[in-house]
Amino acid sequence: MEIYLAKTQGFCAGVSFAIDIVEQALTKYGAPLYVYHEIVHNTYVVNDFRNRGVIFVEDLNAVPQGQRVIFSAHGVPPAVIQTAKDRRLKYVDATCPLVTKVHNEATKFSAKHHAIVLIGHKGHQELIGTAGYVDPGLLYIVENEDDIEHLDIDPATEVAFITQTTLSVDETTAMIDKLRKKFPNLIGPPRSDLCYATQNRQDAVKNLAQLCDIVIICGSPKSSNSNRLRETGEKQGVPSHIIDSAEELDMKLLQGKKKAGISSGASVPRVIVDQLVQRIQKYFPGTRVHTFENPEKKIVFALHHLK
């Protein structure tokens, strides 16, 4: 068996930024520490923080008045910030700066009274946050090309689009093309809202799929970008599976395979991939591991100073 590790995988700069904020807050203020929503969508990361006294809440009313709360990397709508202020909570915003950029676009388009098409997955925390920056009367959420078919907006008007940051690059490109055909005066962000980590991780899985006869993605069920990686492998015609922990992999899937490609979502700690590699090597003695130069090493987001 040969293992190929994707060139770009694991923590992105936004996830490192959010996790570092929680680490700093734990060191500075101690437990209990409240975090609104899972800081990132990864079971290992969330359980580790939980064991160290972090309390994850889905409702700010669960945070005692005057306490400190951290907003997750996915971002929050303005109404949540207002609730925090009303309840006199001390809040720290760990929203990824690339998500904040999308919030700013949403605010700008909304202030200009454009109809705004938001491409993303309904119910995902990031989409809920971004939608909150748009006047509800101007907002149209679409998940697929079929939803675009059914959009009831005057095609003669200037229509704006924004997207969730962690979608399939290929599907989103096709959806924007379709929007452009339907709305000739379509306007959008100067650069795609899909973030560099999403693009790079999907490109790396495409490369793995050319080399390998199976692709395994480490990532949690709620993680949008991890699920898109599994789909990327599958769309290249290679059987692709997603696992939340190394123990979850059914080793029968590797029987008869010669080259396994492994990648991990942007919220997945390296330890999960290392444990998976060790498990495969134990099962198939002599398995060799191939790696590639990671071009993302220098991408970091500067941290806030906690007050």
Among 63, 169, 218, 266, binds ligand SF4 (CB under 6 A): 266
**Which residues, in sequence order, are CB contacts of 66 under 8 Å at separation 6+?**
88, 89, 90
Nearer to ligand SF4, 9 or 225 (CB): 225
For position 76 contacting ligand SF4 by CB under 6 A, the verdict is: no
Which of 73/209 has CB closer to ligand SF4?
A: 73
Distance from C-alpha of 259 to C-alpha of 3, rounded to nearest angstrom:
6
Closest separation between CB of residue 70 and ligand SF4, Å? 14
Which residues face 161 on adjacent strands? 117
CB of 20 to ligand SF4, least distance (A): 12
Is residue 73 at the binding interface for ligand SF4, with CB under 6 A as the rule? yes
Q: Output 96 or 179, the one with its CB closest to ligand SF4.
A: 96
Residue 284 and residue 254 in contact, taking contact as beta carbons nearer than 8 Å: yes
Residue closer to ligand SF4 (CB basis): 89 or 167: 167
Q: What is the DSSP letter of 34?
A: E
- Rule CB under 6 A: choose which of 12, 63, 70, 215 binds ligand SF4: 12
Cα–Cα distance, 131 to 85 (Å, whole number)? 20
Instruction: Please give the order of strands across the beta sheet that includes 288-290.
Output: 240-243, 214-218, 259-264, 2-5, 288-290
Q: Is 70 helix (H, G, I), strand (E, B) or coil?
A: strand
Binding track over 203-242 against ligand SF4, x by CB under 6 A: ----------------------x-----------------
Site string for ligand SF4, 111-150 (x = CB under 6 A): ----------------------------------------
Q: Does 22 bind ligand SF4 (CB under 6 A)?
A: no
Per-residue burial over 238-271, b if 16 or more Cβ lie within 10 Å, else e, is bebebbbebeebeeeebeeeebbbbbbbbbbbee
From 3, 5, 6, 13, residue interacting with ligand SF4 (rule: CB under 6 A):
13
The distance between the two most distant Cα atoms of the chain, rounded to a whole number of Å, is: 64
The catalytically annotated residue of 38, 126, 143, 247 is 126
Query: Exposure of 111 by Cβ count < 10 A (0-12 exposed, 13-18 middle, 19+ buried)?
Result: exposed
> Which listed range, 10-18, 137-145, 177-185, 273-281, lies at the site for ligand SF4 (CB under 6 A)?
10-18
Q: Note if 126 is an active site residue.
A: yes
Per-residue binding letters, 159-188, with ligand SF4 (x by CB under 6 A): ------xx----------------------
For position 99 contacting ligand SF4 by CB under 6 A, the verdict is: yes
Distance of closest approach, residue 198 Cβ to ligand SF4, in angstroms: 6
Going edge to edge, which strands form the sheet with 68-71? 54-57, 33-36, 68-71, 90-93
What are the angstrom distances between the C-alpha of 148 and each of 70, 128, 230?
35, 19, 25
* Integer Cα distance of 21 and 133 in angstroms: 24
Rounded to the nearest whole angstrom, what is the least distance from the CB of residue 11 to ligand SF4 in the complex? 8
> Binding residues for ligand SF4, per CB under 6 A?
12-15, 73, 96, 98-99, 165-166, 195, 197-198, 225, 266
- Name the residues annotated as catalytic: 126
